[in-house]
Amino acid sequence: MDLQPIYLSLQLAALATGLLLLLGVPLAYLLTQTRSWIRPFFEAIINLPLVLPPTVLGFYFLVAFGNGTALGRWLQEVVGLQLLFSFQGLVLASVLYSLPFMVNPVYAALRALPDSLKEAAYVLGYSKWKTFRKVLLPNIRPALLTGSVFAFAHVLGEFGLVLMIGGNLPGETRLASIAIYDQVEVLNYAGANQYAMVLLGLSLGILLLAFTVNRKAPRVL
Amino acid sequence: MMQLHFQKRLAAAQGAMELEIQFELQTGQCLALFGPTGSGKTSILRMIAGLMQPDGGHLSWKGETWWGNAPKTNRPPQARDCGMVFQNYALFPHLTVQQNIAAGQGPTSDPKAVDELLQLMDLSQLAHQKPGQLSGGQQQRTALARALAQKASLLLLDEPLAAQDQATRQQLQQQLRQWLKETQTTTILVSHDSQEVKALADRVLILEQGRVTADGLPAEIFPTASQSHGEYQVMALQHTHGGWVATLKSATQSLQWTTAQRPNWQIGDIIQLNTAS
Amino acid sequence: MRIATASNARFVAEALAKDFEQQTGQPCEVIPGSSGKLYAQIKEGAPFQLFVAADLDYPQGLYDAGLTLGPPVEYARGQLAVWAANDSSLCAVDSLASIRVQRWAMANPEVAPYGRATRAALQAHPKWDKLKTKVVFAENIAQVGQLVSLQSVDVGITALSLIQGAPQPVRGFWRPHPPALYPPIRQGVVVLRGSTPELEKAALDFQRFLLAPENDSLFQQMGYLRQG
C-alpha cells in the first residue's frame, strides 16, 4: 500500500485544524458578542457546509477560483495564489468546510459559561482580550478539544470537495479518501479496504481519545 | 465621597418596577442596602460596578464621574476602582483558591498578601484546591478574599456571608469590620440579615419596591429588643427568601421585623412588641 | 507529465505510460477520473498536459476553447460488454428480458459516453420497453462494475476494457456486445496547452506513442478496437 495519501491526509487535517483554532475560536467569541437579531445570519452562513453537498461547495470553488473569473485570475496573477489543484487550496477549502465543526461546540460552550465569570473579570480590571484568554478559554477546554477532534476527523473524511478541486495529483492532492475511491473504481476492493481500514482506525482512535479525555475533564460549575 | 442618583426600569417577577434611588456616601463608611428580594438592591450594585446601565441619573466617586447623561459618560468596569463579591461568587473554576485570590491583585502580585488573606478567611488548608472541590461557604470566603485582595477604594458586597454558618459568620463579621476600618475602604453591603447590618454597617437604607423607605443608623432602624418594646402598627408585610419582613411603625420610630414564619398579623393591625419577642 | 485519463482507459494509459517512461526517461503520472469532471477541471486550469478521453466531444470542446495544441485524434474505439455475476447464460443482451434478471445496470446515458452507446444499442431492441422497467442507472461504467461484482444487480453493461484491463481477476462471466449493433464509441486524445515547451513536446511524443501501430495489440488485449 502506498502510504503517501494517508500521510497527506494527516498533514492536511493537522494544518486545517490548527488554522481553525486560530480562526474559529475568535469567530465563536465574536458571535457571542453579536447583537441577537443579526446573529442567526452569521450562524446560518457558518453552518452552510453542514447541509450543502460537498460537491456543490466544490463546484463553487472551481468556478470562483478558476481562470474564468476575475477573482481567480487576480489570485493567480497578482497574489500568486494557486487555489485549484493545489495543497494550499485544499487547506483553505477544508477550513471553510469544517468551520461549523469548530465554531459550534466552542460557541455553545462560551454561551454556557455564566455571565458573572466575565463580569467578575471585568471588575477585577481584566480587559476583554485578557478575559477571553485568561478566563473564558481555560474554561472551555473540553469544547476546544471536541471542536479540534471533530474538525480533524471531518477533514480526514473529506471527499466530494477534494474530488472536485483537488485534481487527484499524487503527493499534492491525492488524499486517502480519494485513494479509496480510485481503488474502488478499478474494482480493487482489497486495496480500497486497506486504505479504508487505516482511515477508520485513525478516526476511531482520535474520537476515542477525545471522548476519554473529556470524560475526565471537570465540569464547569 | 460618592454621589449617586439612579433611575432604572427593572423587569421583576411581579412585572416591571421603577427603581429610583439617590444618596450620598462619605468615604470610609459602610452603607447597607436592606430589603426584601426583588427590591432592586443587587441592581444598584451592578450599576455602580458598571455591569448594568441606568436609564438616567448620575454617579460620581471621589469627584470623578463614573456614569452621567450630560455629557454622556460611562466608565467601563475595568476603569472603576471598585471590588465586588457576587452573590454566586463567580470564582474562576480553572484556578486554585490561591490563584483566584492572586487574580484580584492585578499586575503586581504579592504572595505575602495572598497568604494573609488565606489565613484571615481560614482557607490556608485549601489553598491548592479548585472551587469545584469546595463547600459553598468556602467558595464564598474565597470570593471575599479575592475582592479584598483588589484593595479597591470601593467595595461592593452582595450577601457576602450568607452561606456561612452562624459561628463563622459572626467571627467573619468582626474581622471584616476591622479590615474595612483599617484600610479605610468605603463599602456598600447588600443584606437581608439585620444582625449582619448592625455588625458591619455605619448606615442603612431600607429599600422596598425600588424606593428608599428609611435611611438611618442601624441601631435606630433595627433597635434591640429592649428598645423596641411598645405598640406598633403593621405598615407592610413581605415574603423574602430568608423569611418574612414586616415594617412596623410606632409613634416614635419605625423598624423592620424579620421572622422565619409568617406572622399572623394583617397590614394595619396594631400589635404589641415586648422584650421577650 | 500528467496524463488526465478517462476511467475506462486508465489501465491502458498506465501500461503505456510505464513503457514511455522506460523509453524516454520522462516521468509520467496518470490522473484517472470521469471525462466530464476532468474536462471541467482542465477548463479551470488543472495542470495536465494530456487528456485521454472516453469520447470525442469533450476533447473537441477543449479544442474549440483554444486550450489544446491541435484537434482531437481518435486513438481507439471502446467496446460494450455484457457482464453477469453468477450465471454464464445471462451474458447477452437478449437475456436481460429473462425472468432470472431482476435488475440490470448501465451507465447514465446523460453523462457517460458508454451509457450513451448502451442506450443506442438497446433502444432498437424489441423488448426495450420491458427492459427499461428493470434498469438501474450507475454514475459511470466503474460503478456498473461495482454493482455487478458486489452482486447488487444480476447483469451489467459496461466497458470491456474495465474487465479485461483490471489488474486483478474479475468475478463473473462476460461477453462483448457485437460492435455492429451500436454506433462506434470513438475515444479521442488531445495535447493541452499552457505548460512548458519541454512538457508540451513530451506530451506530443506520448500522443504519437499512443497512436503507434506497435501498441495495437495492447489496446486489443485490453478490450478496444483499433482502426488499422
More confident residue, C105 or C45: C105
Number of Cβ atoms within 10 Å of the Cβ of C137? 15
- Report whether pLDDT(C106) > 50: yes
A82, A175, A187: which to substitute to probe chain C, counting the most C Cβ within 10 Å?
A187
Mean pLDDT of C59-70: 95
Question: Mean pLDDT over residues A87-116, rounded?
Answer: 94
Same domain, C170 and C94: yes
Please judge whether A218 and B83 are an interchain contact, meaning their C-beta atoms are less than 8 angstroms apart: no
Residue A178 lies in a domain: yes
User: Which stretches of chain B are DSSP H helices?
Assistant: 41-49, 97-103, 111-120, 136-149, 166-183, 194-200, 218-221, 225-228
B160 interface with A at CB cutoff 8 Å: no
Q: A62 and C170: CB-CB below 8 Å?
A: no
Position B277 pLDDT exceeds 50: no
In whole angstroms, what is the distance from residue C76 CA to residue C8 CA? Answer: 12
HEC sequence for B98-160: HHHHHHCCCCCCCHHHHHHHHHHCCCHHHCCCCHHHCCHHHHHHHHHHHHHHCCCCEEEEECC
The predicted pLDDT at position A218 comes to 53
Copy the grid coordinates of residue B203. Answer: 448606615
Structural Rg of chain B based on CA atoms: 20
Q: What is the CATH number of the domain that holds C148?
A: 3.40.190.10
Q: What are phi and psi of B192, to 5 degrees?
A: -125, 25
What integer best gives the mean pLDDT of chain B? 88
Residues in chain B: 277
Model confidence band, residue A220 (pLDDT cutoffs 50, 70, 90): very low
Q: Chains A, B in contact: 3+ Cβ pairs under 8 A?
A: yes
pLDDT of the residue at C82: 95
For residue B226, pLDDT over 60 is answered with no
Give the separation between CA C5 and CA A4, rounded to whole angstroms.
21
State the residue range of the domain holding C41.
Answer: 2-77+185-225
A chain contacts of residue B150, beta-carbon cutoff 8 Å: 124-125
Query: How far from each other are the two terminal CA atoms of chain C, in whole angstroms?
Result: 28
* Average pLDDT of span B111-124: 94
A169:C149 CB<8 A = no
Tell me, yes or no, whether A221 lies in a domain.
no
> How distant is the Cα of A46 from the closest Cα of chain C, in angstroms?
26
Mean pLDDT calculated for residue range B190-216: 90
CATH number for the segment(s) B223-273: 2.40.50
Mean pLDDT of chain C: 92
Residue B159 to residue B37: CA distance in whole angstroms: 12
Number of domains in chain A: 1
Which chains have at least 3 CB atom pairs separated by less than 8 Å from chain B? A
Residues of chain C with Cβ-Cβ distance to A168 below 8 Å are 31-33
Cell of B29: 463608611
The neighbours of chain C, by the rule of 3 or more Cβ pairs under 8 Å, are: A
Contact with chain B for residue A219, Cβ under 8 A: yes
Segment B117-129 shows an average pLDDT of 94
Shortest CA gap A185–chain C (Å): 5
CA distance B96 to B102: 10
Q: Domain spanning B2-214 has what CATH number?
A: 3.40.50.300
Q: Could A85 and C41 be called an inter-chain contact, meaning their C-beta atoms sit closer than 8 Å?
A: yes
Q: Is B63 on the interface with A (CB under 8 A)?
A: no
Looking up cell 468556478, which residue turns up? A63
pLDDT at B161 exceeding the cut of 70: yes
Distance from CA of A107 to the nearest CA of B (A): 19
Q: Is the pLDDT of residue A109 over 90?
A: yes
Same domain? For C132 and C161 the reply is yes
Residue with cell 483554532: A21
Averaged pLDDT, C5-31 = 94
Give A184's contacts in chain C (Cβ within 8 Å): 142, 146
- Chain C residue with CA closest to A174: the answer is C31
Q: Which of A66, A68, A185 sits opposite C32 (nearest CB)?
A: A185
- pLDDT value for B122: 93
CA distance A217 to chain B (A): 11
Domain count, chain C: 2
pLDDT, tens digit (0-9, with 9 covering 90-100), for B254-266? 777 777 677 788 8
Partner residue opposite A170 with nearest CB, options C29, C33, C149: C29
Residues of A in contact with B94 (CB under 8 A): 138-139, 141
B116-150: string of b/e by CB count within 10 Å (b at 16+)?
Answer: ebbebbbbeebeeebbeebeebbbbbbbbbbbbbb
Q: Are residues C46 and C115 in the same domain?
A: no
Cell of C35: 471525462
Interface test with A, best of B45, B78, B86, B151 (most A CBs within 10 A): B78
Interchain pair C142, A186: CB under 8 A? yes
Considering all CA atoms of chain B, what is the largest pairwise distance in Å, rounded to the nearest integer? 59
Out of C31, C149, C167, closest to residue A168 by CB: C31
The mean per-residue pLDDT over the stretch C35-53 comes to: 91
Provide the pLDDT for residue A216. Answer: 67
Q: Do B76 and A122 touch (CB under 8 A)?
A: yes
Contact B188, B33 (CB under 8 A): yes
Q: How far apart are CA B82 and CA A120, in angstroms?
A: 11
How close does chain B come to A131, measured CA to CA in Å? Answer: 11
Q: Which of A87, A168, A183, A188 to mutate to test the interface with C (most CBs of C within 10 A)?
A: A168
- Who among C32, C45, C145 is closest to A84 (CB)? C45
- Mind listing the pLDDT tens digit for each residue in C212-223? 999 999 999 999
**Residue B97 CB partners (closer than 8 Å, separation 6+):** B118, B123, B126, B127, B128, B129, B130, B131, B134, B138, B142
Domain that holds residue A62: 4-216
pLDDT on residue A82: 82
Q: Which among A66, A188, A189 is the nearest to C45, CB-wise?
A: A66
Q: What are the pLDDT digits (tens) for A153-206?
A: 999 988 988 888 888 888 888 999 988 888 887 778 888 899 999 999 999 999
> What are B12's strand-pairing partners?
B15
Does A139 contact B at CB distance below 8 Å?
A: yes
Q: Are residues C125 and C194 in the same domain?
A: no
Mean pLDDT score, C120-131: 89
Sequence-distant (≥ 6) Cβ neighbours of residue A216 within 8 angstroms:
none
Number of inter-chain CB pairs under 8 A, A vs C: 63
Same-domain status, C46 and C126: no
Q: Where are the domains of chain B?
A: 2-214, 223-273
A114 touches chain B (CB under 8 A): yes
Give A90 to chain C, closest Cα distance, Å.
14
Nearest by CB to residue A188, choosing from C32, C47, C168, is C168
Whether residue B37 is predicted with pLDDT greater than 90 in this model: the reply is no
Residue C37 pLDDT grade (very low, low, confident, very high; cuts 50, 70, 90): confident
Q: Are residues C89 and C161 in the same domain?
A: yes
* Closest chain A C-alpha to C124 CA, distance in angstroms: 30
- Give the whole-angstrom CA distance, residue B198 versus residue B221: 9
pLDDT at A221 exceeding the cut of 70: no
The answer to whether residue A208 sits within a structural domain is yes
User: Is the domain of C89 the same as that of C39?
Assistant: no
pLDDT on residue A196: 92
Top pLDDT among A105 and B221 is at A105
More confident residue, B18 or A221: B18
- pLDDT, position B276: 43
Q: What is the pLDDT of residue C104?
A: 94
Distance (Å, whole) CA A135 – CA C121: 71
Q: How confident is the model at residue B147, as a pLDDT?
A: 96
